[in-house]
Amino acid sequence: MTTPQKPAARPVTPHFSSGPCAKRPGWSPDVLAAALVGRSHRSKPSKARLQAAIDLTREILEVPADYRIGIVPASDTGAVEMALWSMLGARGVDMLAWESFGEGWVSDVVKQLKLADARVLKAAYGDLPDLTQVDFDRDVVFTWNGTTSGVRVPDAEWIPAGRAGLTICDATSAAFAQRLDFAKLDVVTFSWQKVLGGEAAHGMLILSPRAVERLESYTPAWPLPKIFRLTKGGKLIEGVFKGETINTPSMLCVEDYIDALAWAKSVGGLDGLVGRADANAAALDAWVRRTPWVAHLAAVPATRSNTSVCLVFADPVIAALSADAQSAFAKRLAGLLEEEGVAFDIAHYRDAPAGLRIWCGATVETTDIEALTGWLDWAFAIARGELAKAA
């Protein structure tokens, strides 16, 4: 067997993980020098930095002025759980799921909250549920971008402006890379470590006036842990949305998030961020279209993610293997790239079909995506040759 030649070009930054994601170009720990470490997060300077993070989030994401933005515990998961436990139960709910995290929210609502009037609309990996079947007289919970399937909603046209229920949207791998139509969204959540490459454990919760009205007019039948409580005496705890966090945030992480937001502003704000992610996804797609051994998991281009791009094996020999054997092949391919230091953490998510998942978000450089593709071909040739030799 002839050993394939290694490509000459290497990605400058080998971080293609879908979370935590690559830091912004040029990042170094030096940007944290001004972080208010050793200070109380309730001190005036610390609260000012937390408020600055909220204000920059509003500016970059173009969040309407009458929407509240809060920093909450436990990453995107914490933000979604706060919404589910605090708001659901007032009316029926439609749960949409087409990948692992959407399935997780279904499990929480059906098995933990035990809502009898929960309707589940599912689709297999690579597809969307039939959005025309969603009943907006009910609450609706969905992910904007399926991080583990690479499938996103194409837009918010399927959501009526005059809906009766709330729309609760997990947007963690979409925010800052895809345009969110806030007029159609009542709750939006995301985490710092996705598109902007921030540090983990902090979530963002964005509430429309309709969501606030729900919180102030409805009391769930179940007890709420302190970490989920957004109201007191029937009124919204406004401090949560002014930098007065429920628990202790890391001021190092806060400073890092502010740095990422400042960088986002420097590259053109939301338009610049979306453009960067689109360019990365286009570069990867151009390689997929000319490469016979690989294909997109998301078959419909309009619903294909520009951040968490999921790929499956089109090579007939690999595609004919069992699911376990395909998974082993994907991990071997990804392992070869990690050994070379050219790509880290790009094997498929554990619950998803076997293949590769390559982050194309705004902090990744298009030249690194282009350099990666040659290494993907090299690693496939090595792993495919090993498989043939073993047979």
**Residue 129 half-sphere exposure, CB side, CA atoms within 13 Å?**
24
Give me the numbers of helices (H) and strands (E) for the chain, helices first please.
9, 14
Q: Give the ranges where the chain is alpha helix by DSSP (H).
A: 44-61, 75-87, 100-107, 209-217, 251-266, 269-289, 316-319, 323-340, 366-390
Question: pLDDT tens digits for 261-312?
Answer: 999 999 999 999 999 999 999 999 999 999 999 999 999 999 999 999 999 9
Please, which pLDDT band fits residue 166 given cuts at 50, 70 and 90? very high
Written as one string, the DSSP assignment of 228-284 is G--EETTEE-GGGGGT--SSPPPHHHHHHHHHHHHHHHHTTHHHHHHHHHHHHHHHH
Percent share of the chain, pLDDT over 70: 100
Per-residue pLDDT at 123: 98
pLDDT of residue 100: 96
Please state the rounded mean pLDDT for residues 158-171.
98
**Whether residue 2 has pLDDT greater than 80:** no
> What are residue 365's phi and psi, to 5 degrees?
-90, 140
Cβ atoms within 10 Å, residue 209 = 12
Give the closest residue to 149 by CA, choosing from 309, 9, 317: 309
* DSSP helix, strand, coil percent of the chain (3-state; round to 5): 40, 15, 45
Cβ atoms within 10 Å, residue 80:
29
Inter-CA distances, 42 with 37, 59, 213, 241, 249, Å: 12, 24, 28, 14, 10
Provide the angle, in degrees to the nearest 10, between the axes of the packed helices 44-61 and 251-266: 30
Q: How much is the CA Rg of the chain, to the nearest whole Å?
A: 22
- pLDDT, mean of residues 313-317: 97
In this structure, are strands 145-146 and 167-170 parallel, antiparallel, or unpaired?
unpaired
For residue 219, CA distances in Å to 80, 289, 299 come to: 18, 52, 42
Distance CA 297, CA 303 (A): 11
pLDDT, tens digit, 9 for 90 and up, residues 54-98:
999 999 999 999 999 999 999 999 999 999 999 999 999 999 999
Distance CA(336)–CA(341), nearest Å, equals 9
Is the Cα torsion angle 326, 367, 29, 261 positive or negative in sign? negative
* Structure confidence at residue 93 (pLDDT): 98
Q: Where are the domains of the chain?
A: 30-265, 268-390
- State residue 296's pLDDT score: 98
30-265, CATH topology level: Aspartate Aminotransferase; domain 2 (3.40.640)
User: Going by C-beta distance under 8 Å and a sequence separation of 6 or more, which residues neighbour residue 350?
Assistant: none
CATH of 268-390, one of 3.40.50.1370, 3.30.1490.20, 3.90.1150.10, 3.30.360.10: 3.90.1150.10
Model confidence pLDDT, tens digit, residues 199-210: 999 999 999 999
The yes-or-no verdict on residue 146 having pLDDT over 70 is: yes
Tell me the pLDDT of the chain averaged across its residues. 97
Model pTM above 0.85: yes
In total, the chain counts a number of residues equal to 391
CA 30 vs CA 35, 75, 199, 255, 260: distances in Å = 10, 24, 15, 11, 13
103 three-state secondary structure: helix
Q: Kind of pairing, strands 68-73 and 202-207?
A: antiparallel
pLDDT bin (cut points 50, 70, 90) of residue 391 is confident
The predicted pLDDT at position 389 comes to 92
Amino acid found at 318:
I
Residue 1 has pLDDT above 80, yes or no: no
Q: How confident is the model at residue 3 (pLDDT cuts 50, 70, 90)?
A: confident
